[in-house]
Amino acid sequence: MVRFLVENSLGATWAAMHPQTKLAAKWPYYVRNADRLPAANKPVREITFLDPACGSGHFLLEAFDLFYEMYEEEGLLQKPEEICRSILCNNLFGIDIDDRAVQIAEAALWMKAAQKSPDFSGSAGHLVGTNIRLPAGKDHLREFLKKHPDDEPLRPALEVVFAGLAHADEIGSLLRIEEPVRQELAEMQRNYPLWQPSGERAQWLPGVTGRLEAHFHQEAESVDIGQGFFGTSAEKGIALFELLSRRYDVVATNPPYMGSKSMGPVLKEYVEDHYRPGQRDLYAAFILRCLELAAPKGLVGMVTQQSWMFLRSYADLRAVEQEKVRELGQAAFKGVLRDTAIETLAHLGPYAFAEISGEVVNVALFTLRKEAPPDEHRLTAFRLIGPKSPEEKEALLRAAVHAGG
């Protein structure tokens, strides 16, 4: 499942940039005839890959191998140590609420690099655990606005940001940094049609997020570390802010599955407020978040429950009804089928995980591009719900990909 998703997201990105690449012939799960658009070329070191629920690093390890092949084919870096260092410094990013899992991922990536370069001394620099908390007894928003009074009109959005940061250890990658500010600016423009962001105002969004980050750095360097913004988690808090503020060429993950009835009150309220079309399950909220974290025309690859494709409760996640579309703002999410181009889909159904018996989890793998599909777009789908073991499904998926590719 991991190889299918990485090859058809990161691999597809490279193949779109380099139609004559020889690497695709070695990828057993790469769907060669999928309906894909070409992509603008750029150096390998600038291609970014995020797993926002990275756990112990399965997706990152698979992506490491593909990146290594891409560097070799590009030919700009020759030494294994240089390639490994560039992958860990420039290409791979990961976030998880389980700090120990992140540590395992860091170790696994180091061992992967050491296999290529036995004397490798670097480390994975962009993996972050979200087990951070704001120190109590301090009005962090008031302190920020005292230093930046011009940002007072954005108080509602900033309240959302600071409230989310107070529970980063529970909300994890779902924490929204830039989006509340962007939405507040759009609301101001709707309420005051004559107000147009021009001149300095046009730079308000990147300006306020830059000021937030500078504020966090300053707080982190507080003489009294116990009173700093993130306390002893200062460095980790800054890294989390930076990762969530970026947008990535590829976002791929196996998100957590948790029904809304099992969520704690903080997480449940946050998901309902910010990921309403996916509020029924955490994995569905992650579909929306992965799309937010992907760059325009970027690719998202996920293994999720199949329920979002069929149940009525996910109707708005699939596609908002046509009459409602006109009521939504231009930037509003209108559904996966309207706002993204699904490129590949493998419907595996039950028995896809060796660790989970029976029909407890019904699985779907998919990759989609963050852009509205053209009218003539066609997805490539594989329906493999019949086999009763992961091994049978794997063999059939390989055969189906090969036959269709």
Residue 189: give the domain boundaries. Answer: 140-238
Task: Specify if 294 maps to a domain.
Answer: yes
111 and 13 belong to one structural domain? yes
Contact between 219 and 229 under an 8 Å Cβ cutoff? The reply is yes
88 and 158 belong to one structural domain? no
**Residue 231 neighbours by CB under 8 Å, 6+ apart:** 133, 134, 135, 225
Task: Count other Cβ atoms within 10 Å, centred on residue 76.
Answer: 11
pLDDT score recorded for residue 39: 87
394 and 272 belong to one structural domain? yes
Q: Rg (Cα) of the chain, in Å, rounded?
A: 22
Low-confidence spans in the chain with pLDDT less than 70: 133-138, 188-206, 216-217, 219-235, 329-331, 355-360, 404-405
Amino acid making up residue 391: E
Which CATH number characterizes residue 39's domain?
3.40.50.150
pTM: 0.89
DSSP state of 259: B
pLDDT score recorded for residue 200: 47
* Cα within 13 Å of Cα(23), Cβ side: 23
pLDDT score recorded for residue 300: 98
- Tens of pLDDT, residues 144-161: 888 888 888 888 888 887
Point out which residues pair with 93 in neighbouring strands: 50
Residue 186, token pair as written in the block: 């759009």
258 and 388 belong to one structural domain? yes
Residue 163, token pair as written in the block: 């409230």
Residue holding tokens 């191998």? 65
Task: Count other Cβ atoms within 10 Å, centred on residue 398.
Answer: 14
Type and span of the H or E element at 50: strand 49-51
Residue 87: exposed, middle, or buried by beta-carbon count in 10 A (0-12, 13-18, 19+)? buried
Residue 78: exposed, middle, or buried by beta-carbon count in 10 A (0-12, 13-18, 19+)? exposed
Task: Specify if 243 maps to a domain.
Answer: no
- Tens of pLDDT, residues 176-195: 877 777 777 777 666 655 44
Residue 177, classed as helix, strand or coil, is coil
122 and 160 belong to one structural domain? no
Query: Torsion-angle region of residue 380: left (phi > 0), alpha (psi -120 to 50) or beta?
Result: beta
pLDDT score recorded for residue 125: 82
**Domains in the chain, number:** 2
